[in-house]
Each structure stands twice: as structure tokens, then as C-alpha cells.
Structure 1
Amino acid sequence: QAAKQVIFQKVRDAERDRQYDEFKDRQGEIITGVVKRVEFGHIVVDLGRAEGVIRRDQQIPREVVRVNDRIRSLILNVRRENRGPQIFLSRAHPDFMKKLFAQEVPEIYDGIIEIKAAARDPGSRAKIGVISHDSSIDPVGACVGMKGSRVQAVVQEMQGEKIDIIPWSPDTATFVVNALQPANVSRVVIDEEEDRIEVVVPDDQLSLAIGRRGQNVRLASQLTAKAIDILTEADASEKRQKEFVANSELFQNELDVDETLAQLLVAEGFGALEEVAYVELDELAAIEGFDEDLAQELQSRAQEALDRREQAARDERRGLGVDDALAEMPYLTEAMLVTLGKAGVKTLDDLADLATDELVEKKRAEPRRRGDDTPRAAPKGGILAEYGLSDEQGNEIIMAARAHWFADEEEPATDEAQAEGDEA
């Protein structure tokens, strides 16, 4: 009985190892199986020599599946576990759609056409960005096929999910315009620091650009990997007017100049004191109506205003009890130190205890439709998210703050070695 039990166990282990070895390198492939049973909303699929599971969150919503139905799915993950290899399948992942297109479109399979990006709202709508490496082949037309035969085959497999096929472009602005189809876009403004894109559309195109329940702009955002804000022409004009007035008042107050001169600076594209203080003198003097003396005077006043700000921030920082040691950290300004102090980060140890994302992770907010006043949670981000520091800079700041930990560890060892030397 013992020998029999050992043999059975060894055979079971060998079978599990064989199943794992067979499927571990097939992640990302499409496989066809037979629905064996449905348990608590999860579909168990017979793959021949093994079983796979399509979890509820990886199924196409409202899809009706019956036992013994043949079903195609993507091998999402293969994990080795004590009870045997677990094969997780998916029909909702964007890669499932990519693989279906590769099966239907020979040009994609051959690498002539490449799917650069894909986004899905499973069971409802999807977008893919395609590019052709052969100038004689139209990527969109090849994916659509004669009378839509190729794309219809994919749509049927995905339970009628509508697919927008979009020409991919390396130019972000062009790709965003394409991604928001069928809406027409008037203007695109890219904010590199915030990693956001502001899209201006005609008033009558707003609902089309946003889509039902925000679907169109959400898929476009996933496709471009950028946060997209949709504004109408009227909204954009109002926003520009507010920024113009605010910047004009800033220059009037800080540079002690009249309204006309302040507005002229804003009209020339200056929006901050730093831009006036550190721009090339020739560029400032080249503005119509300016001369070199006036340019020098404006730069001098801008630098004085920045010094006043720095001193005020320094006084506020010290009033908050933030250690002077933090001021020696790379990239940190007095304004940043005030923000840290208000967040309770006042010593090197406080700063060293933070993770990079807690310090500099950028805030992300869902695009809000015009007139939508529904309360929503404030976007989360790092303490210094508003200052546009990169992850590399945040990491360098934290490592500099932790440097004294390693110095403290080395000192006792040095003292001990000195004591041993004296004893010898």
C-alpha cells in the first residue's frame, strides 16, 4: 500500500510538471477549449491535457456561456501551485483582441502591420492603433478587410464589441486627434511636466468626444497612455482669459510695472517670474517697445521678487520647524520644504522613511465633463507632486536623506577598531 501510494504520488507530480512545462511558455497565445463547468461565475475550460479558468473579471460582460461550448481565450498567466499548475485565461484583455487580429490579418502575422496600442471596454467598444512598415499597404484598410470581413470576424468573436481602427502616429498630438475619432478636434495642448493633454473641441462635438459615460475619452486616454482633458472652445477661451488676467496681475504686483507693460509680457508668452529673471537679455529686449535698459531693469526686479519669495518661504519653513539639514538635499527649494513641513516631514529621518511614489508621484484625475458637479475624491499623488519632480530625482532626494543612516552604522565599527588598536 505504501509503495502504491508513493507511485501514485510520483505519477501525479510528474503529470503536474508536464502540464506546467507544456503551458508555461505559451503565455500570450490564444487557445481553444471546451467549457467544462461554471463555478461561482468562473468558467472552467477543458484544454485537453489540463484545465484553465476564466475568472469573472476576465470574461466579456453579458456573454452567455454553456457547458460543452467551444471557447477561445488568451493564456494570461500560468502559475505553479501545490495542487497543480493553475492556468488563467482571459477574453477581456486587450492582447486577446490583438491576437485575434493576428489570426485574421496575414499582414499583422507577418509583421508588415504592427498593432502599437490597444484599449478595450470589454463587450462594448475597443480602439487599436496600427502602423504599416510598408508604405504601399494601408494599415486600417488591411485590418478592416474586403467589405469589413476581417474586422467582423473579430467583432463576432468578441460578442459584437465595436472596434475603432486608428492609424498610429509617433507624434502625440496627431495620435490623440486620431484616437478621439469620430469627434473633430480643434486644438491640442500638451503639458509635458504634468503628462497631461488638453484637447479643445467645437461646442457641438463635446458629447461625441466624451462618449457615453466617458467611454470615448477613457479609451483614448488608455490608448495614448496620457491623461486627457476635454474642453470646448468657450471653456478654453475662458481659461486663457483667466490665465492672462492672473499673470498680468502677478507681473504688476511683483515687478511694480503698469498694466500695459504687464499685459505685453504675458502676450509675449511669459507666465512666471522665473521666465523673466532667467531668459536671455536679448530675447527680452527684442520685444517691441522694449530696449536693453528696460530689459535689465525687469530682470533685476524679477530676481529681487524671487529672492523675496525665497526668504518668505525660508521664514515659513523655519516657523514650521523643518530642519536646516533638509535644505541641503538636492532639488529641494524652500517652497518645497514648506510643503514638506505642512505634511509633517520635518527631519532627515522623516524624509528618509518615505518611498519615491509618496514623495513625487504625479496626481491623476479623471477627465470631468463640462457641467458635471458630482463630488469626487481629490486626485492622489506624492507630497511634492505639484512641483513636477521625476522619479529619478525623487529617488536621489530620498537616498541623500538616508546617507546619514549608513554613516551612523560605520562610526561604531570605526570606534571599535580604534579601541582594538589602542589595546594592541
Structure 2
Amino acid sequence: MANKEILLVAEVFSNEKDIDKEIVFEAIESALEAATIKRHSNQIKVRVIIDRKTGDYVTYRQWDVVDANPEIDGDVEFPASQILLEAAQMEDPNIMVGDVIQEEIESVDFGRIAAQTAKQVIIHKVREAERRKIVEAYQSRVGELITGIVKRIEKGNVYLDLGGHVEAFIAKEDMIPREAIRNGDRIRGYLKEVRSEARGPQLFISRTAPELLIALFRLEVPEVNEGMISIMGAARDPGSRAKIAVKGNDPRLDPVGACVGMRGSRVQSVTNELAGERIDIILWNPSEAQFVINAMAPAEIQSIVVDEDKHSMDLAVSSENLSQAIGRGGQNVRLATQLTGWELNVLDATKAEEKSEAEGAKIKQLFVEQLDVDDDIAMILVDEGFNTVEEIAYVPLSEMLAIEGFDEALVNELRSRAKDALLIKAIAAEETIESAEPADDLLSMEGMDKDLAHEMASLGILTMEDLAEQSVDDLLGLTDMTEDRAGRLIMKAREPWFAETSGE
């Protein structure tokens, strides 16, 4: 059946919606299939094929080839769309289960099909294609700055028109608090995610992400794009205050001054875009301690104690600068923590000194007792930064010989005493564990035997409460212990926990 109208519809939709003509043809085929099925009383299976050059189309009724279903007396479950293998092989002996057979039937007239059905199918397909096209166009732009016009505001959520029938979504939590936004405003945001979904928004934008601050500085400061300045990180309290770390790659250039701009013009442009957010531009430093000092600006830091294990720093500031260092609601120290990646603790300098002296006195006394040295040598070790006997025992020999007044004989003697002290401590701890006796509740617990209870006690598991805090893996090293038995013992030990919960 020839139909020039089909070619015309495909041409018009393809040009108007700027989508592949093949998608429109597929939509028309679906509409013709739906109209054909509707014309039959039972739910037949139909396939319509349109000739893309002439507009001719033919309609085929299809059946899936299946085995007999014993539950329905060897027949098929859906007679309108299924055929038994035996019946199909009468026409074609080579046919297999899972194949499809078809025969041509009368086609419906394209001009007479339900116009609404055809229109809905075509529009649905076109919308799917448009949404897929948007995802493909913006997928590579995740992480970029996006500009749009506020189209509508719903319950704090903002929808942006990006042009070309493309819409983006800013969730309420991604909007700057208390920012005055009206329909028609032109605003920028950071494209944080693109999702391919059948309905709803697909482009998700944030105005609170630190990456937005970085993108705006890239826009306002040409030296960043030229590689003369690197942005090392940013932290924000959206709408209130932010910190951004910059590093100069050209010794002739002041990176902070370049980002501030003439009379503050560059940083002011960014501030205006972010609803008045005050921005501290921080000079990055390869020394983490110095970087933290810079990040705490404008507060002046008197001293820093670094704890590498906890990845934290104690910052001592004078009493009059304490509130400035912490900031309103802890804002300054919180932003500095986010920017540097270190956990920062601000202390009053006087209290910090007292704390340091107390800790030093405690460590000095430990050295006096465990190394059998006088106060002077113990104090020298503390002043040199030694905190534990382990450090003295295993620190490189050259490092201790570098201490003024220490010769090789003294260093060797201190290291020997430190190792002896550690050995004595380890033996005492082992004897304490070995002599430990299991508590009565552990001994009398269901599923427990005496040997197992004593073996647990040697590992420091003395009570049912101790056992309740273990995991299955913790017990698998015990004699003849299986995962099943370990699980049952632990759950038995935890029964009092559940009893307390239900009692509440």
C-alpha cells in the first residue's frame, strides 16, 4: 500500500524536531501496529514495515513458536500470538522453538487510523528521542559552568531554560540559602549530573558546590586558563563565606593579587554571582602546616602541633584572636578544615601551652621510669620530639647521634634500655592474658565448654559481654571452631541485649 502522506509526516516531524527521520518512521509503524491490533477482537501480534523511500507499507501477523504446555492439555497459553512447534514444522521443517512465523494481512489505512493514537505514539517517540539527544549533548559537559534563564520556581526548586527546548533542574538544597531568584533571571550553575530518565529532569545543576566557585574563577581570571595559576581547592558555606586556594606557576605573578583583580574587580564579580558570598583567597603552600596557617586567615596562629596518625592539627591562638580564628558558628575553622583536609582544633594559646607542658611532663616521667635516666636526659628526649619508648628503641641511630651532647655509647645504652623495657612490657601483658580466668557467666553459657572458655580468656574474651562484641571472623582461629558454631555462640551472648531492648 503506497502512502505519500507517511513520507510527508516523517519529513515534517524530522525537520521541526531536529531528530532522525528513522525515529519518526518507527513511531508511525508503532501507531499502525496499535491500530491493527485494536481492529481485532483478540490480542494478536503484529509487525508493520514501511518502505522508507516510497511510503509503501505491509502488515504481518506474527506467531511465536513454542512447545506444548502440559498444564493446559498440551495447548498454547496465548493462541492469538503463539503456535505449537509441531504445527509450525508442517510448513517449515527447519523451524525451531523461539522462532517467529508470519503472514501478510490487510493493512489499515493510514488516513483512517485513530489520529489521536498515531499522534500520541509519534509524540512519545519524538520526546524519547529528544531526551536521549539532550543526554548525549550534555553528558560530556558534566563539571562545566551552565548558564540559563529561570523558567519557573516550584517549592524552592528552580527550572532553568537553557535554550533549544532544553531544561535543567536545581533542587532546593542546591540553591544558595535566602537567594532572591525570580522568573526571567539569568543565573549560572555547576552541571553536576546528567541522568537518562523517561520523565522528569535530566540535567542537575548546583549553585552550592565548591566546583561552581572554581569554575567562576576560571571564567574571571584568564591566568588560570593559561596555566599561570592553579586552583588547588575550594570550600564554601553557600551564600555566606568561602575559601579558595591558589598556586602560582609563574614566579613573576602574584596569584592572590591576580585573582582579586584591579580594585577587587575579579573577586567582586564572583561574589555578585554567588549572592554576596565573601571569598577568602588563600595562597597554597607545599608545607601542610604553612597551608593551614594561610587557610586560617585572617586569624594569626602562634603555634601548631601536628598529629600525623589522627591527621589533625592543634592550632594555638591568642585569647583575643580566639573568636576570630573559630569564626561565627565555627565557620572559619570549618572552612579551613574542608579546604586543607586536616582536622583542625583551635586552642587558646595559654591553655595549649599548659596542655603541652603537662603532656611533656608526663612523657618525661615515663622516660625516667622506663629507661632509668635522670630528669635532664629525659627532658632532652622530650624536647627533641620523642613521645614513646618505641621511638627511642627503633629510631635510626644517626638521628639520635645528631642530638647535641649525645655520643654513640649513650645512644646505644638508651636504645638497649628502651628495647628491654618494651620486652618486659610485652612479657607482662602476655602473662596477664595467660593467667586470666573466664567469668562464671561465660563458663556456664549454653554451647560453651571449659576448654573453649579458657582459650577465649587467653585472648582477652573473659565475659559474655566480651563475647557479644566479637564477630564470627574473630572466633574462627579457635580450636575446632566453625562459622556456624561461632555465630550461635555470639548470638547467645547477645541475648541480654535484646532482652533489655524489649524491656524498654
TM-score, normalised via structure 1 length: 0.71
Residues 13 and 200 (structure 1), Cα distance of their counterparts in 2 relative to 1, 3 Å cut: same
Once residues 258 and 278 of structure 2 are traced to their aligned partners in structure 1, the CA distance between those partners, rounded to angstroms, is: 17
Equivalent position amino acid for 1:10 in 2: K
Counterparts in 2 of 1:50-61, with a 5 A limit? 50-61=166-177
Q: CA deviation at 1:164?
A: 0.8
Query: Taking structure 1 as reference, are residues 348 and 256 closer, same or farther at Cα in structure 2, changes over 3 Å only?
Result: farther
> Which residue identity is paired with 1:28?
G
**Does the aligned pair in 2 maintain the 1:16–1:85 contact within 8 Å?**
no
* Alignment match of 2:323 (pick from 201, 207, 219): 207
Pairing 1:348-363 to 2, within 5 Å after superposition: 349-350=473-474
1:15 counterpart residue number: 130
Could you say what secondary structure the match of 2:236 adopts?
A: strand
Contact 1:78 1:85 in 2 (8 A): no
Determine the C-alpha separation between the residues in 2 that align with 1:320 and 1:72.
69
After superposition, the CA RMSD in angstroms is 3.0
Question: Does residue 125 of structure 1 match 2:241?
Answer: yes
**Higher normalized contact order (CA 8 Å, seq sep 6+, divided by chain length):** 1
Aligned to 2:73: none
Distance (whole Å) between structure 2 residues aligned to residue 309 and residue 171 of structure 1? 37
**What does residue 165 of structure 1 align with?**
281
Distance 2:218 2:402 in 1: 57
Output one character per residue of 1:344-364: Cα deviation in whole Å (capped at 9) or x when no partner.
Answer: 676782389xxxxxxxxxxxx
Any idea what the Cα deviations from partners look like across 1:237-279, whole Å, max 9, x if unmatched? 1122111211122123323444444334434433211123234
User: Identity of counterpart residues, as a percentage?
Assistant: 49
- Tell me the CA shift for residue 219 of structure 1: 0.9
The alignment status of 1:240 with 2:349, answered yes or no, reads: no
3-state SS of 2:235 partner: strand
2:113 paired residue number = none
Cα distance in 2, alignment partners of residues 119 and 343 from structure 1: 44
Alpha-carbon spacing, 1:202–1:14, altered in 2? closer, same or farther (3 Å)? same
Partner of 2:143: 28
| Partner Cα separation in structure 2 for residue 20 and residue 351 of structure 1 | 52
CA shift in 2, pair 1:9/1:167, >3 Å = same
| Structure 1 residue aligned with 2:332 | 216
For residues 154-198 of structure 1, the C-alpha deviation after alignment (integer angstroms, 9 at most, x for no partner) is: 111111110111222222122111111111122233332221122
Size of the alignment, in residue pairs? 338
Which secondary structure state, in structure 2, belongs to the residue aligned with residue 47 of structure 1?
strand
- Over residues 82-106 of structure 1, what are the superposed CA-to-partner deviations in whole Å (9 max), with x where a residue is unaligned? 3266211111111111111222222
CA distance in 2, matches of 1:212, 1:302: 48
Flag the 1:280–1:222 CA change in 2: closer, same or farther, 3 A: closer
How big is each residue's C-alpha offset from its partner over 1:301-357, in whole Å with a ceiling of 9 and x where there is no partner?
A: 322221122123334555498xxxxxxxxxxxxxxx869x969676782389xxxxx
Counterpart contact for 1:345–1:351, Cα < 8 Å: no
1:147 aligns with 2:248: no
Q: Does 1:301 align with 2:417?
A: yes
Report if the CA contact (8 A) 2:169-2:201 is conserved. Answer: no
Query: How do 1:30-49 residues align onto structure 2 when only pairs under 5 Å count?
Result: 30-48=145-163, 49=165
> Could you tell me how far 1:283 is from its partner in structure 2?
6.2
- Could you tell me whether the CA contact under 8 Å between 1:320 and 1:338 is conserved in 2? no
SS in 2 for 1:126: strand
Q: Tell me if the contact between 1:34 and 1:46 (Cα under 8 Å) persists in the aligned partners.
A: yes
Q: Does 1:182 align with 2:298?
A: yes
Q: Check if 1:71 corresponds to 2:187.
A: yes
Q: Deviations over 1:184-213 (max 9, x none)?
A: 122233332221122222232211111111
Give the Cα–Cα distance (whole angstroms) in 2 for the partners of residues 173 and 308 of structure 1.
Answer: 38
**Structure 2 vs 1, CA of residues 338 and 215 (structure 1 numbering), >3 Å: closer, same or farther?**
farther
Larger of the two Rg values belongs to structure: 2
User: Which amino acid is the alignment partner of residue 349 of structure 1?
Assistant: D
Q: CA deviation at 1:128?
A: 0.8
Provide the C-alpha distance between the structure 1 equivalents of 2:318 and 2:202, rounded to a whole number of angstroms.
Answer: 51
CA–CA distance in 1 between the matches of 2:419 and 2:349?
36
d(CA) in 1 for partners of 2:277 and 2:403?
Answer: 56
- 2:337·2:343 contact (CA, 8 Å) conserved in 1? yes
> For residue 171 of structure 2, what is the amino acid of its counterpart?
R
Cα distance in 2 for partners of 1:229, 1:343 equals 37
Q: Deviations over 1:14-45 (max 9, x none)?
A: 11111111111111222222222222321122
Runs (5+) with no aligned partner, structure 2:
1-30, 36-117, 439-458, 477-481, 484-504
